[in-house]
Structure 1
Amino acid sequence: MTIFCSKKLPKIKSVGDVFKEVRKKNNLTLFQASHLSHIPKKHLISLEKNQFQKLPSAKAHCIAYVRRYAKILKLDEKIITDEFIRQTDLNNYQPIHPHSGLKIRPLNSIILWTKRLAIGALSIVFFSYIGWQINGIMRPPTLIIFTPNEGYVTKQLSATIQGQTDAEISLTINGQKIRVNDKGQFEVEISLSKGVNTITISATKKHGKTSTLTRHVVATPTNNQVSYGSQQPN
């Protein structure tokens, strides 16, 4: 009768263990090995720790790193590369992009995030437009007087009022309504009385917001001119 004795089989070393062991025997630090092989230190660490999923996603990159590292450690490149391919099963492992350090996300997840970003952008545009419309309604209308300037002195008993406001605005000068063109521009001549004349220009929106400006014009007619007093604009 044959008696079989159990025998403990030696543990098969991984590619990473071989790299680490040989590097240390050659008294090389990871920094020195990275400098000699031109392989980033973080990828050498991943190789030695058998964390192959952290290597670049392209198979060519992985194999190139393994061959280059084997070469500077004076190992058989073909044997090491074949063993690396066998141990890692390159066709099935999930890689991490070398630059981003993030796992590649499924296409559905990318589409979902794209939709969310698009909805967020549209929401921002929509609420910005609503805010702009509300601000336009709530703020008083624009009102600019080009002539006359405040304190204007004239020898005539009339003055021309020129200015700019918003379109579709109700404009009055000293209480009398004045026509405004489709660009918000207006021009009207009013009569003056001798001395200081107060001219009040008001622009009112449909919703009641009003802007008012006042000009004081001094009329100093010659003695032969007749003052008819302050008259309403035509």
Structure 2
Amino acid sequence: MTNFIPKKLPLDETLGERLRQARSLKKLKIEEVAKILQIRPEYISALEEENWDKLPAGLYGKNFLKQYARFLKLNTAELLKQAATTESTSDPFSQKIVAKNKFIVFPKIVKNAIIIITVLACLLYLVTYFKKIVLPPELIITAPSQNLLIHDNIITVSGQTEAGAEVRINNEITLNNDNGVFSKTINLKKGLNNIIISAQKKYSQSQTITRQILVE
């Protein structure tokens, strides 16, 4: 029984040329080799064309090269060494792993950034909504002015607050329209009168303004 001696081809031939020439000597087509080795035809073509980007990443691509080299009775170690110096003295299979890892990491960073932004946006919305519910409504008194001196014993109190807020004047509910505008005439007594106007939403704190009116 004779021992198998791997063929040594001229060193000026590229890796792809070695594979292609050895296959031609066997008079086999790429499809036939693929069927025998159970490797997809495009991977066989990628090896012969040295198109590493079309091969699976890392050990998968390297194992395809080993399997193909053994089938063609070529020196596997020599071909792997030549593959490692094919692209700027770096292993193309190692490059594929690094490139793939970078490609995988980038979407993860984007995904995490989107999640963080979404969470922050939700928190901001909840804080804004909570403030809108809890904070007292805006209350503007258009009449009367503060520290007013009058001679009549009646006065009209008017103003505006947020729509839906309940308005009270001296603790009596005062109706307001859809825009929050309200107006009410109240009786005064001789001397100093305190008019307390308040507005409050369903779950909010109360907003209160006091007007002091002096009746002579």
> Which whole-Å deviations, capped at 9, do the CAs of 1:162-207 have from their partners, x for residues lacking one?
2222221111111221111222222222222232221111212212
Q: Distance in 2 between matches of 1:106 and 1:86?
A: 22
Displacement of 1:127 in angstroms is 0.8
After superposition, give the CA deviation of every residue in 1:112-132 in whole Å (9 maximum; x if it has no partner).
211111111110000111111
| Structure 1 unaligned residues grouped into runs of 5+ | 1-84, 95-102, 221-234
Choose from 113, 118, 124 the match for 2:120. 124
1:210 pairs, out of 202, 206, 211, with 206
Q: How many residue pairs get matched?
A: 128
Structure 1's consecutive aligned runs of 4 or more residues displaced over 4 angstroms after TM superposition are: 89-94
Given the superposition, is the C-alpha separation of residues 150 and 108 from structure 1 closer, same or farther in structure 2, using an over 3 Å criterion?
A: same
Structure 2 residue corresponding to 1:176, chosen from 172, 185, 188: 172
Partner of 1:167: 163
Q: Do the aligned residues in 1 keep the contact of 2:195 with 2:212 (CA within 8 Å)?
A: yes
Q: Give the whole-Å Cα distance in 2 for the aligned partners of 1:142 and 1:206.
A: 14
TM-score, length basis structure 1: 0.47
Secondary structure at 2:142 match in 1? strand
Give structure 2 stretches of 5+ with no counterpart. Answer: 1-84
Give the SS at the match of 2:210.
strand
Q: 1:106 to 1:161 in 2, by over 3 A?
A: same
Q: Partners in 1 of 2:150 and 2:101 — Cα distance?
A: 79
Q: Is residue 185 of structure 2 the alignment partner of residue 219 of structure 1?
A: no
Any conservation in 1 of the 2:135–2:204 contact (CA below 8 Å)?
Answer: no
Counterparts in 2 of 1:196 and 1:118: CA distance versus 1, 3 Å: same
Which residue in 1 is equivalent to 2:3?
none
* TM-score computed with the length of structure 2 as normaliser: 0.51
Equivalent in the alignment of 2:131: 135
Partner of 1:88: 88
| Corresponding position of 1:194 | 190
Determine what percentage of the aligned residue pairs are the same residue: 28
Please state if 1:106 is matched with 2:102.
Answer: yes
